[in-house]
Structure 1
Amino acid sequence: MAIAAVFDVPGMTQAQYEQSADRVTGGKGAVTKASDWPVPGLISHTSMPTPGGWLVVDVWESEEAFQRFGEIIVPILHELGAPHVEPKIYPVHTVVTR
């Protein structure tokens, strides 16, 4: 079952987000397609600034795929000094893509 993982990270900066994306892609810069991810299973990724931090919403094919990605991204975020937050996980009912 597909899931949505929502990270609302107070205090996270755009620079920290961009540095984490660069590390996720192995130094290729911004994340632009699902194949940039180090594990399979990503359906969509959206990020945006908020008044007090950064918001990321990912849709994954399964919670297991998301957990595999978490094993990679959590240490990266920790190294960058991003605040630790637990993502909110929701089962996905509908996904529409272009």
Structure 2
Amino acid sequence: MPIVIVLSGPTVTQERYKAAVRLLKGGEGGMQRPGDWPVEGLLSHVAGQGPQGFRIVDVWDSEDSCRRFGEQLAPVLQQTGITDPPEVYPAQTFVSAALSHA
């Protein structure tokens, strides 16, 4: 069952997101394809600025993949100053057209 992670809040900013991506990637360059992530299992990643602030939404293929990513992500979030806890829940429905846009 796919698992959704939503990260938003006062400490989640575009600048901190970019810093976290650099740390996860191990340098410059974005994470444009699922293979760019440090663990396998990413189905979807969306990040952007909305009226309520910057928001990041991931969908993972399983609880195990989500957990493995969380283990990689936790120290990166701490290092970049993102302290808002993520919402994590099973997806009721997941539909994807498999597009990739940066």
Compute the TM-score of the two structures, normalised by the length of structure 1.
Answer: 0.86
Distance 1:8 1:67 in 2: 19
Name 1:40's counterpart in structure 2.
40
TM alignment of 1:13-92, pairs within 5 A: 13-92=13-92
Gaps of 5+ in 2: none
Distance 1:94 1:76 in 2: 27
Aligned length: 98
Moved segments of 4+, more than 3 Å: 50-53
Root-mean-square deviation over aligned CA pairs: 1.6
Distance 1:65 1:77 in 2: 18
**What SS does the aligned partner of 2:54 have?**
strand
Deviation sequence 1:7-39 (CA, Å, 0-9, x none): 123232211100101111121421111111010
**What SS does the aligned partner of 2:9 have?**
strand
Gaps of 5+ in 1: none
Distance 2:6 2:39 in 1: 18
Deviation sequence 1:29-78 (CA, Å, 0-9, x none): 21111111010000110001234532111111001101100001111010
